[in-house]
Amino acid sequence: MMNKQGRPTTGTATNGGELATISGHRGLDREVKLIFETGRPGACGVDLPEPELKHDRLGGLRRRGAIGLPGLSEPEVVRHFVRLSRKNYAIDYGLYPLGSCTMKHNPRLNEKMARLPGFADIHPLQPVSTIQGALSLIDHLAHWLKLLTNMPAVAMSPKAGAHGETCGLMTIRAAHHAKGEAHRTVVLVPESAHGTNPATAALVGYTVEEVPANERGRVDVAALKAKLGPNVAAIMLTNPNTCGLFENDMIEIADAVHKAGAYFYCDGANFNAIVGRVRPGDLGIDAMHINLHKTFSTPHGGGGPGAGPVVLSAALAPFAPVPLILHGANGFELIEDDAAAKSHDAKPFGRMTAFHGQMGMFTRAMAYMLSHGADGLAQVAGDAVLNANYILASLKDVMSAPFAHSGPCMHEALFDDSFLKDTGVTTLDISKALIDEGYHPMTMYFPLVVHGAMLIEPTETESKHALDEFIHVLGTLAKEAKGNDKRRFEGAPHFAPRRRLDETAAARKPVLRWTPPAKAQAAE
């Protein structure tokens, strides 16, 4: 059909899918050069006044020679990063079912609150009288965290989950040393643990011993008890665990750990499954980090920043690192050094970071908590668990769910690759085929306790409709994997900005930065 000016008003279905374009772009998906390849001397994206300086005070150390930074105007910079952004999947775009990572909706109100000048434009070392609102906010957030966990204290400064683990284990180490029990050098870690757990234990100077899982996907309590001895400093346990299951023997484990003179560290990465419904303090836990970027929805930002406050039991509380925030006669006080802390009966093990922690994440988490309230947070956990169980129930027969026989899961549903046996299709192929279907893949090949793991965490912010679509797609992929036509899986993804990338080549001869062409040639 044509309109009166001869403009076609209907499409024609001519084939063109495989056509190479002149530019290399494909419609909305543009190839993007590096800024170093498009920038040139003389262009600049800022206007600054001319310096008036005649004599510098740089002690003869003025920088000579070009740094090599490219010059770009503001519109070029905007286009560069907008074009790059379009090559990313995002939770704002669709379901992001990365198990253990908790990709839930990030409310924009939280962004707005974090940018209030009273929070964003204050310096960590300006006089304490001028930052009473900031200290009050941190104290307020700490109060919520303590009530939600039923723990008496919280160290706020750790900057992410692994940093929180470090803080927790250092607190435990300090407590043992204070009791004259420095000989405790072993930390027990279940084989299903996040990689950060054994890495942290090693960082803090401990030897790691693994505890096996049982056939129900939980810690083998008998094996654990057999390993508990006078040399054990702590156990690090994730609960709900990385198989998405609640460790139902928690209280028995805690009793055994305490009886052996050790402390119970809980990896709180999965606190989002139980917030408002189960308080870790009631389970006998001594220390637990809370990933504010998971449970309390501060955005993941392509890999951070996060925040990992650590709640502490009464036994560990005195050893928390500086800084400490106290209520004083003239408002809030900030205790920044050991000696001052000691005058308040604290025995801090040291300092985790230069300043007071991730204020920008605290403000976002606080806005999230105030928005949900006690009722909303309990519903968050409940809906997250319901959504995961809905996926488990809908897919367990077409895929294989190794622990489905043991009852409901928590916030994530775990599948293994036994349904793919003899099909030639792998967990990786299923994941890449999901990309073609418009989804970010689930966590793959983790936890290590099952073969070819697929760990699906839908979170509470997905609608039933969104889950039904996803279940339909994944279920159909599972059926096709078992069928005769496997074209969907071969070389997937086909419709992403890039096909499968050669990770082996990248690691064999690492190219970690751009080098000017002349230099690159000379180096060869």
Partner 1 sequence: MRYLPLTTADRKAMLSVVGAKSIDELYRDVPREAYLTTLVDLPMHAGELEVERQMGKLAARNVSAGSVPFFCGAGAYRHHVPATVDHLIQRSEFLTSYTPYQPEIAQGTLQYLFEFQTQVAMLTGMDVANASMYDGSTATAEAVLMSARVTNRKRIVLSPNLHPHYAETVRTTAEAAGLSIIEGNETALDDKTACFVVQNPDFTGAIHDITPLSDAAHAKGALLVAVVTEIVSLGAITPPGEMGADIVVAEGQSIGNPLNFGGPYVGLFATRQKFVRQMPGRLCGETVDAQGNRGFVLTLSTREQHIRREKATSNICTNSGLCCLAFTIHMALLGEDGFRKLAALNHDRAVQAADKLAKVKGVELMTPTFFNEFTLKLAKPAAPVVDQLAKNGIIAGVPVSRLKPHDKAAQNLLLVAVTETTTPADIDALVAGLSKVLS
Instruction: Report the site for partner 1 in 398-437 (rule: CB under 8 A).
Output: 407-408, 431-432, 435
Q: How many CB atoms lie within 10 A of CB 303?
A: 6
β-pair partners for 331: 328
Q: Which amino acid is at 240?
A: P
Helix (H, G, I), strand (E, B) or coil at 293: coil
Q: Per CB under 8 A, which region of 1-9, 11-19, 255-263, 353-361 contacts partner 1?
A: 353-361
Residue 286 contacts partner 1 per CB under 8 A: no
Q: Per CB under 8 A, which region of 227-235, 259-267, 311-319, 509-517 contacts partner 1?
A: 509-517
Per-residue interface string for the shown chain with partner 1, residues 466-505, x marking contact by CB under 8 A: x------------------------x-x--xxxxxxxx-x
CB 66, min distance to partner 1, A: 6
Task: State which residue, 400 or 461, has the beta carbon closest to partner 1.
Answer: 461
Name the strand (E) or helix (H) holding 332: strand 331-335
Residue 182 contacts partner 1 per CB under 8 A: no
Residue ranges in 79-138 that form contacts with partner 1 under rule CB under 8 A: 80-82, 84-93, 96, 98, 101, 103, 105-107, 109, 111-113, 115-127, 129-134, 136-137
Strand order across the 287-289 sheet: 153-155, 310-312, 287-289, 263-267, 232-238, 186-190, 207-211
Structure tokens, 439:
């989804």
Residue 520 contacts partner 1 per CB under 8 A: no
Structure tokens, 70:
């490219």
Task: State which residue, 73 or 421, has the beta carbon closest to partner 1.
Answer: 73
Task: State which residue, 89 or 423, has the beta carbon closest to partner 1.
Answer: 89
Residue 188 contacts partner 1 per CB under 8 A: no
Rounded distance, CA 475 to CA 392, Å?
11
Q: Per CB under 8 A, which region of 223-231, 248-256, 259-267, 397-405 contacts partner 1?
A: 248-256
Q: Per CB under 8 A, which region of 223-231, 244-252, 259-267, 449-457 contacts partner 1?
A: 244-252
Residue 152 contacts partner 1 per CB under 8 A: no
Task: State which residue, 89 or 225, has the beta carbon closest to partner 1.
Answer: 89
Residue ranges in 198-237 that form contacts with partner 1 under rule CB under 8 A: 198-205, 208
Q: Which amino acid is at 269?
A: A
Residue 238 contacts partner 1 per CB under 8 A: no
Rounded distance, CA 147 to CA 123, Å?
29
CB 14, min distance to partner 1, A: 23
CB 431 within 8 A of CB 419: no
Query: N- to C-terminal Cα distance for the chain?
Result: 58
Task: State which residue, 105 or 347, has the beta carbon closest to partner 1.
Answer: 105
CB 256, min distance to partner 1, A: 15
Rounded distance, CA 263 to CA 474, Å?
42
Rounded distance, CA 288 to CA 279, Å?
11
Give the count of residues interacting with partner 1 (CB under 8 A): 206
CB 86, min distance to partner 1, A: 7
Beta-sheet pairing, 287-289 with 310-312: antiparallel
Residue ranges in 299-328 that form contacts with partner 1 under rule CB under 8 A: 299-307, 321
Q: Which of 386, 398, 451, 475 binds partner 1 (CB under 8 A)?
A: 386
Residue 329 contacts partner 1 per CB under 8 A: no
Alpha helices in 300-358 (DSSP H): 338-342
CA 130, 131, 135: angle at the middle one, nearest 5?
150
Q: Identify the sign of the CA torsion 207, 212, 218, 222.
A: negative
Q: Which of 152, 261, 276, 475 binds partner 1 (CB under 8 A)?
A: 276
Residue 219 DSSP code? B
Beta-sheet pairing, 324-328 with 331-335: antiparallel
Q: How many CB atoms lie within 10 A of CB 94?
A: 15
Residue ranges in 48-87 that form contacts with partner 1 under rule CB under 8 A: 48-53, 55-64, 66-72, 74, 77-78, 80-82, 84-87
Q: Per CB under 8 A, which region of 141-149, 219-227, 418-426, 479-487 contacts partner 1?
A: 141-149
Rounded distance, CA 315 to CA 156, Å?
18
Structure tokens, 492:
């997937």
CB 79, min distance to partner 1, A: 10
